[in-house]
Structure 1
């Protein structure tokens, strides 16, 4: 512990990201849900045409070129969009804008653990409402928790499922606080909650370019909400939080929907084949609306398999926490990567 930090900072453990191998390491990386395919060629063209003037000057404070691209693609007004240094920054901005000691952060669990970490930083009270065995959204319990902010990841990590729009509508109508629908994996799902933003002034939809657009290294995300709700978030975000290169590259990637959808379709096809292969090995596998699978080994020895795969140069994600200690979260890779994984599991099992 340190005398320099607030008590809540001393008490917290901090978020632990997935392992990142050193550049050039020969490893199959299936642990942090990155897209296995390269970014849009149109985005790469922009990167190759960077003007030195972009670097000399401050960028636009609201990343308007990128906001315009989002507006065009999703057919929403530009002033309904806020841009962040990854959607994680926007999650932080929301919590800093809407919570404080005595104002609660609520979410169904298990889910993205960063929600808890960000609430601890504030600090705000955290209420975790367990999902049912079938991952049914516990609407009554979430409403009763009376959060200043309620997070629902849809599709959810690590459980892979989406929450039906009807259930999110029911939840939003009963909440007195803000409902954040985290759609980080929406590009691999069958539906989006975006229409609900038109119906409710307490809903924020967050998205990222890290997954569907293959731009995890760029750190670019955005949120959509009615302007009255965004007005407070704009007060809290850093003045120049999006650099000029990310803004330009991200705008090009956003406008290249044909390429993004093609890559997403390839991932979904590989996801279906990988699920079949894992089931044939005796794994129990959740149906998925994401670019990863949650798989329970036939002997429940998830940690043992995680470590054995790591020794063979294959990284998957293992969460040592209740309800997940007997499961592996496996990012869908290329066909070749997936086949190498299956061959290793055949040997280990």
Structure 2
């Protein structure tokens, strides 16, 4: 197994991209700055995929880029984020000197009443499903409760293709809702650094004032376009993740190793077992009590299972 297949700490796609994803790509186009027509074409495809109008789609360079842009566009606001959550929200707020109020999740990883109260008048950010806890934090009725009082509700749906839970239908009803999506996870384009935001046109115009002109590379736009034109590989990968996740959880539980599934493409296991995986050459994300492990393809899953079988000896 090569080193790439042992990268189970960043929730990247664990199978090779299909060759057809690269067909028709004009590499000579790199000579030119990204064409507006190419971005417009991708915006049309995204709007069709998501179910909104083209004016409600804003393409940018990765969700990390959208987080940076959000703090610039809404820099005078107070921000509220659950804890634990995706670490870049806290890291980028610190870098930009933005006031960020972090509210601990409940013991079973749910939003607390304190979170709803602190969100009044603030920009409220919810990663859904959450990273690193892996569970759904927000259903539509809870989102609407936040939207009633928050300045903005930002919902990070990086793992939407795995969870199928989305707040996008509420965009037409609420002008203070922002949804982030990415091509990094289920579409396997993490290295292309391409994402998009779904919101109303006024909010998109506000964000646009703070971004650079050529914000997404030409090749990234082409790859994302091909991914949406040929999404079968993405659906196949999502099915594989769900099958392998179920298999891993069954085996680990049988072996008396604490493990919990997620609504994303990763599982949480006991930190001690996570350290065992690290000792056996796997990169996993170690946390206080748990380790986050990206669900991988069958051959590597069997290697993890073999390690687990010897773990208690």
**Whole-Å separation in 2 of the counterparts to 1:76 and 1:150:** 22
Counterparts in 2 of 1:26 and 1:221: CA distance versus 1, 3 Å: closer
- Show the counterpart of 2:58: 82
Q: CA deviation at 1:27?
A: 5.7
Return the match for 1:286 from 253, 256, 260: 260
Q: List alignment gaps of at least 5 residues for structure 1.
A: 1-23, 320-324
- Show the counterpart of 1:17: none
**Whole-Å separation in 2 of the counterparts to 1:40 and 1:203:** 35
- Show the counterpart of 1:13: none
Secondary structure class of the residue paired with 2:250: helix
Return the match for 1:63 from 24, 39, 64: 39
| C-alpha contact (below 8 Å) 2:244/2:298 kept by paired residues | yes
- Show the counterpart of 1:168: 143
- Show the counterpart of 1:38: 16
**Whole-Å separation in 1 of the counterparts to 2:117 and 2:16:** 41
Aligned residues: 309
Q: List alignment gaps of at least 5 residues for structure 2.
A: none
**Whole-Å separation in 2 of the counterparts to 1:222 and 1:104:** 23
Please identify which structure carries the higher helix content: 2
- Show the counterpart of 1:6: none
- Show the counterpart of 1:341: 304
**Whole-Å separation in 2 of the counterparts to 1:178 and 1:63:** 26
Secondary structure class of the residue paired with 1:314: coil
Structure 1 length normalisation: TM-score? 0.83
**Whole-Å separation in 1 of the counterparts to 2:57 and 2:142:** 24
Q: CA deviation at 1:149?
A: 2.0
Secondary structure class of the residue paired with 1:195: helix
**Whole-Å separation in 2 of the counterparts to 1:64 and 1:226:** 17
- Show the counterpart of 1:201: 175
Counterparts in 2 of 1:256 and 1:306: CA distance versus 1, 3 Å: same
**Whole-Å separation in 1 of the counterparts to 2:89 and 2:53:** 28
Return the match for 1:98 from 52, 57, 74: 74
Counterparts in 2 of 1:26 and 1:157: CA distance versus 1, 3 Å: closer
- Show the counterpart of 2:186: 212
Secondary structure class of the residue paired with 2:286: coil
The one-character-per-residue Cα deviations of 1:54-92 (angstroms, maximum 9, x if unpaired) are 112211359222212101222311111111111210111
The one-character-per-residue Cα deviations of 1:123-178 (angstroms, maximum 9, x if unpaired) are 11111111112222225533334464211000111111112222112211221x11
Cα RMSD after superposing both structures: 1.9
- Show the counterpart of 2:198: 224
Structure 2 length normalisation: TM-score? 0.92
Secondary structure class of the residue paired with 2:16: coil
**Whole-Å separation in 2 of the counterparts to 1:310 and 1:284:** 17
